[in-house]
Amino acid sequence: MKQMTLNEVYITRTANFFPNNPVSNDEMEEYLGYINSKPSKSRRIVLRNNGITNRYYALEKGGKVTHTNAEMTANAVKALFNGTPGAIKSMQLLSCGTSSPDQLMPSHGVMVHGCLPESGAIEVVSPAGVCCAGMHALKYAYLAIRTGDVQTAIATGSERFSTSLRAELFEDEVQKLKELEANPYISFEKDFLRWMLSDGAAAFLLSNQKNEDGLSLRIEWLEGVSYAQEMEACMYMGSDKMEDGTLKSFLEYSPDDLVDQSVLSIKQDVKLLSEYIVPLGGIKLKELFETKGMTPDDIDYFLPHMSSNFFKSKIYERLEYNGMGIPYEKWFVNLSTVGNVGAASVYLMIDELFHSGKLQKGNKLLLLVPESSRFSYMYGLLTVV
């Protein structure tokens, strides 16, 4: 049987789209609104720990929506081609990852495709998930080119969290908690997430041919792992967590209970997050260093996706503990200026670095994307060529 010849795969172009102007820390509640008509008590504390100074919202002040997730993603795709409609017809595959689609059905990917009438009839895929969804989209596109199924593909990562963070979605729950003097779990878990999340989109053009002029990023490998077989859900939406750790779907609740129990809101089990997210992420990374014969000296840029600057020292210490310490001068993170954009964060780091003028041929970029939803991780290695 003839052995299949695998193609090299290159990221030849990158682009981003941010809605509106950057929003400073002091302006956030002008866009998201004031819960109970009062400034948040937790905002400054959370912001001090997460290190974010600017983020983007697909909202006007007052909370009016300006862009859908699909529109932002399509704008990032268009930016890959400098707004040249005819060039988009070269796209053979569109792979779109997000954790905040505009609707349950149709899929996010086909909605993005629907915003690109300049394109032809093509294959579209929409990996589900949270932060890893963007990397899953990238891997699908990578594998399609690697096996020769297509010659060019576009992968995207995007989020529109702001619409689920507006004050009116919190008022009934906060009032209910106030009246009952109940456990503040929902209020705390939700309120803290309001100051963590940002909107935006980014896109990569992948090809089996590198750029003739300028730099490209050759994808050496992309690998992932899930620990859901042993870990319960940590971050969830559209469900509620039972005492035994299982999730009860929003489909099993009455309309009133959906509101009263905050079932449609994003929530996170902070205790689980802090205890497991970094140690579990280090297990597979250590294995990859060993099986692929890598050392920290081989890495020129380390791009870890972090939801908060709080985790920076934790990741550093875990790398040191595992015998593969990467000094901070090799880290490239833009959390402070763009915020936590979930599935788009790693794309936005790569995009900024790709256009920074810092990269030189031969540089190697190590990617780390943790996902707290049920503890999944994606890793990758890119070489500048």
Say which amino acid occupies 221. Answer: W
Per-residue pLDDT tens digits of the chain, which is 385 residues long: 667 789 999 999 999 999 999 999 999 999 999 887 888 877 888 888 889 999 999 999 999 999 999 999 999 999 999 867 778 999 999 999 999 999 999 999 999 999 999 999 999 999 999 999 999 999 999 999 999 999 999 999 999 999 988 887 765 545 444 443 444 434 445 566 788 899 999 999 999 999 999 999 999 999 999 999 999 999 999 999 999 999 999 999 999 898 888 788 888 888 899 899 999 999 999 999 999 999 999 999 999 999 889 899 999 999 999 999 999 999 999 999 999 999 999 999 999 999 999 999 999 999 999 999 999 999 999 999 9
Which residue among 183, 214, 245 closes a domain? 214
Same domain as 31, residue 123: yes
Structural domains of the chain, count? 2
Does 376 fall in a domain? Answer: yes
> Model pTM?
0.94
Same domain as 18, residue 163: yes
Whether the Cβ atoms of residue 206 and residue 9 lie closer than 8 Å to each other: yes
Does 350 fall in a domain? Answer: yes
User: For the domain that residue 17 is a member of, what is the CATH number?
Assistant: 3.40.47.10
Which residue among 214, 241, 257 closes a domain? 214
Does 232 fall in a domain? Answer: no
How long is the chain? 385
Does 235 fall in a domain? Answer: no
From residue 204, alpha-carbon distances to 11, 65, 108, 151 in Å are 6, 26, 17, 14
Same domain as 145, residue 32: yes
Instruction: Domain of residue 340: give its range.
Output: 218-227+268-384
Same domain as 286, residue 207: no
Rounded CA-CA distance 201/283 in Å is 30
Rounded CA-CA distance 212/367 in Å is 25
Say which amino acid occupies 375. Answer: F
Does 110 fall in a domain? Answer: yes
Whether the Cβ atoms of residue 222 and residue 374 lie closer than 8 Å to each other: no
Whether the Cβ atoms of residue 20 and residue 56 lie closer than 8 Å to each other: yes
Does 369 fall in a domain? Answer: yes
Rounded CA-CA distance 129/331 in Å is 26
Residue among 185, 189, 206 nearest 197 (CA):
189
What are residue 55's DSSP bridge partners? 23
Same domain as 283, residue 181: no
Quickly count: other Cβ atoms within 10 Å of residue 1's Cβ. Answer: 3
Same domain as 223, residue 88: no
Does 140 fall in a domain? Answer: yes
Rounded CA-CA distance 262/239 in Å is 9
Any idea of the CA torsion for 91, 93, 95, 96, to the nearest 10 degrees? 40
